[in-house]
Structure 1
């Protein structure tokens, strides 16, 4: 699959999970990126993302999509006990933060949804868009990393 088509497919999948009510923002990103990577973690890993929606357990703080995105980056660049920290982890996580802040002027959930009635379809559409943006951005970065892109291509073509 062509890179741009694959990235757009990731965006649509993450958005679709949220739109259909199958997952909230953080869960949709984690599930979609786990799938993109060829399921290196059991599907249950999405449970770890379940505390992050609506700004960390409905507290309105860090955007759930961004939180889920950071968790998804950990799937690719994280470490196990006793391993050294991969420097890409910090760089790419900060870049995700900066990317979303550059587009939406904040990564704080309550700021991102200010002016929307929480239960409105407009607020949900806005959050769906952010979720898709996070998933697509991560997919693009992972596809730029030759070692990870190779794994993705094997997973996509199997």
Structure 2
């Protein structure tokens, strides 16, 4: 499977999980990226993303998809106790933030959805699209990283 096909599949999976109501935005991103990486963490890791939807616990702050995306980046670029911070973590998290901000004008949930009635299908569709965008961006980033892409390429051959 080529890079574009993998990214498209990741986008569609994340969007599908959210669209069908199986996960909210942050959970869909974490679950999809964990799957892409061939489950380095148990499926229950998605529980850590459950407080981030609707701008961190419905507060309207940081977009849940972006929060989940930063968590997903940590799956590959994070650290454990007493390890130094990997060089790739902060630049990748910052780049995701900047990408979404440049694309949508903000990373704040209440700003991203201000033109929608919260319960409307249009708002959900908008959030589903952002969720897919975040997951696709992370997949693209990982596929550009030789240390990660080789593992993904083997899985999708």
| TM bin (shorter chain) | over 0.9
Q: What is the CA-CA distance between 1:152 and the residue it aligns to? A: 1.1
Instruction: State the SS of the aligned residue for 2:55.
Output: helix
Aligned to 2:7: 7
Tell me how far apart the structure 2 counterparts of residues 50 and 36 of structure 1 sit (CA, whole Å).
Answer: 19
Q: What is the CA-CA distance between 1:82 and the residue it aligns to? A: 1.2
Tell me how far apart the structure 2 counterparts of residues 2 and 154 of structure 1 sit (CA, whole Å).
Answer: 11
Aligned to 1:68: 68
Structure-to-structure mapping, 1:5-154, within 5 angstroms: 5-154=5-154
Unaligned runs of 5+ residues in structure 2 are none
More helix by share: 1
Q: Deviations over 1:70-96 (max 9, x none)?
A: 000000000010111011100000000
Q: Note if contact 1:38-1:156 (Cα within 8 Å) is conserved in structure 2.
A: no
TM-score by length of 2: 0.99
Tell me how far apart the structure 1 counterparts of residues 109 and 83 of structure 2 sit (CA, whole Å).
Answer: 33
Q: What is the CA-CA distance between 1:125 and the residue it aligns to? A: 0.2
Tell me how far apart the structure 2 counterparts of residues 50 and 155 of structure 1 sit (CA, whole Å).
Answer: 28
Unaligned runs of 5+ residues in structure 1 are none
Tell me how far apart the structure 1 counterparts of residues 150 and 108 of structure 2 sit (CA, whole Å).
Answer: 34
Tell me how far apart the structure 2 counterparts of residues 83 and 115 of structure 1 sit (CA, whole Å).
Answer: 44
